[in-house]
Structure 1
């Protein structure tokens, strides 16, 4: 007599559970069916390494433009900080001079 495959066993369990209203048997039949299906069709995995997509010319032009705009922004920010620092130094010197003149006048 030939041995039953897992799928045949699962089908027999389902037929047995159909006539019985016992929930545990229905659940067991469903689980057996799922297990049999998993054993029949194992998941195939792709073993091939896919090459990374290369950038097009347009993307490189966009990157270059972004770098240029960023560089110009950093230059303007540096210039603004230099002007701010010079202005702050002049204000401090003027206030110091005014303070010494005020102290001498007393």
Structure 2
């Protein structure tokens, strides 16, 4: 990470820290990482290839967040559909029970009057 990018990240973190204490903690972590990197000795004389550090990919996290939100909405819609279906079954069972009780009473009256 270049010094310019680190400076911009620290400036953005400092501006965002006004909104929340969590962002203040994130700023402290970024500063701690910068200090830890500054304290580590840089050795470039080794013979093996170093893998490049991957930079932060906002698109990946937006995609993950989007899928999470869509998945949550789908799960919520399915839960609502299940709840409505359960209420419909309960209403139907209540109506059916009432009908059967009324028909049984009418059948007994019919048999008694015969």
- Structure ID, larger Rg: 1
TM (normalized to structure 2)? 0.46
TM (normalized to structure 1)? 0.50
The structure showing larger relative contact order (alpha-carbon pairs under 8 Å, at least 6 residues apart) is 1
